[in-house]
Chain A
């Protein structure tokens, strides 16, 4: 089966997702959740070969037996395939597709208050990340951000574009050279991923978000820390507003009585 070894970078991001899982899960379920989230976010993509069980278990800090339980659960869902032998191992074989209905129900059942709270945290993480990135990003970081801004603009498929958007936000934290901000940013994006995929009805919203990405990128490139922080905060607030606007619309449309 066609596969390529997982990059160190993807593995690092996978490890940083620890802690994003809902409370009350056993360790094996936590790890399955972590890997599922990485697939959902596009950190792990079809064809990626996971490290050997002993290596992956050590990286995740769990026993090989627990890891085998996690992998078995993912296999049942058709997300990975495992083969034996020298070139064997587990390979990502699926993408998680939340249906529009699932996403809409989740967004409707959220509350403006919880979305605002999530947005407040997002604004704090992204503005500080952008501020630090402005003084710490090297040429390679900037090139990566540039690439993501362009891919976000050029991608037609809405879901792929959403993944690129979240990768851009995480990449700003990576450029800030802060592992804790990156981890916080990843976990926040992971949460947003289960809420928000489609862009709002406003005709110009796509252009607004694209222009905001460019503003963040340009401020980081110009090493203007204040401008980067302001641009990132504005972007974060705009996204939160779109999210809340959709939640309000969905709640009003729901005929379920209180």
Chain B
């Protein structure tokens, strides 16, 4: 028998650690999104790309501040919102040793095999449709940064359409937060994304990136919302499994 109180305490502690580290990232990204909306409101005409040039510095500072959990951040503009290009995406990746974040190139040419049509990607489509912040994933971002990531998305509404500010959390970094807070090998504890995708677990048989199917769901014993304050923004659960 497990000590139920100890397990509950570990779940609460872990939920709190994840919620506060992801929540702090969300909060800062929302501030940047508010600035973007503010700029668009102040410009009488349709803003050009240069109106958002401040983002390079703001996002670099944001990436460096949260480098413990995120590996990159950027903005995807509403299609047709900029006079210069129909689609425009600016994304930066954290540098290896604390230097300036590096620009990530995306192929925005519709004729190309690697065409990265962000308007059809879940993170952009759902965020603009809902108009509210959301953690999307985990998913493998092929054509993007090609690793298994979670994207935190925040909409920035403007008269020209809704842009999306986003940042990428890698499963690797989240796993560290999860395991160091949990400090428990038994029972099996799994951090689950909204579609049943495993974000992290303390059991080697249930690896990150795999999918929880119906059969696994039936073994769920206790279940805790990671972010009880804002479950819509961070729809993750911590569950324990019966052996």
Indicate whether B108 reaches chain A with its CB closer than 8 angstroms.
no
Cα A243 to Cα B205 with chains together (Å): 11
Also in contact, A258 and B180, with CB within 8 A (given A111-B208, A116-B208, A241-B204)? yes
Closest to A254 in B: B180
Cα A231 to Cα B176 with chains together (Å): 33
Assess whether A252 is in contact with B182, with CB atoms less than 8 Å apart: yes
Also in contact, A112 and B183, with CB within 8 A (given A244-B207, A248-B202, A248-B204)? no
Cα A114 to Cα B148 with chains together (Å): 9
Cα A110 to Cα B210 with chains together (Å): 17
Which of A113, A249, A257 sits near B148, CB closer than 8 Å? A113
Assess whether A113 is in contact with B202, with CB atoms less than 8 Å apart: no
CB-CB under 8 A from B69, the residues of chain A are 258
Q: Which positions in B face A, CB cutoff 8 Å?
A: 17, 21, 68-69, 148, 170-173, 175-177, 179-180, 182-183, 185, 200-205, 207-210
Closest to B149 in A: A113
Q: Mark A100-140, 1 if CB is under 8 A from B, else 0.
A: 00000000001111111101000000000000000000000
Indicate whether A245 reaches chain B with its CB closer than 8 angstroms.
yes
CB-CB under 8 A from B170, the residues of chain A are 111, 113
Also in contact, A111 and B179, with CB within 8 A (given A116-B207, A116-B208, A258-B21)? no
Cα A248 to Cα B185 with chains together (Å): 9
CB-CB under 8 A from B185, the residues of chain A are 248-249, 252
CB-CB under 8 A from A254, the residues of chain B are 180
Cα A113 to Cα B199 with chains together (Å): 9
Assess whether B68 is in contact with A113, with CB atoms less than 8 Å apart: no
Also in contact, A113 and B175, with CB within 8 A (given A252-B182, A258-B68)? yes
Assess whether B207 is in contact with A112, with CB atoms less than 8 Å apart: yes
Assess whether A241 is in contact with B205, with CB atoms less than 8 Å apart: yes
A172 to chain B, nearest CB (A): 24
A74 to chain B, nearest CB (A): 26
Cα A241 to Cα B205 with chains together (Å): 6
Which of B17, B148, B175, B209 sits near A251, CB closer than 8 Å? B175
A-B contact sample (5 more), CB < 8 A, given A115-B207, A251-B179: A116-B207, A116-B208, A252-B202, A258-B21, A258-B68
Q: List 8 A-B contacts (CB under 8 A).
A: A113-B170, A113-B171, A114-B172, A244-B204, A249-B185, A251-B180, A252-B180, A257-B180
Assess whether B205 is in contact with A116, with CB atoms less than 8 Å apart: no
Assess whether B68 is in contact with A112, with CB atoms less than 8 Å apart: no
B145 to chain A, nearest CB (A): 13
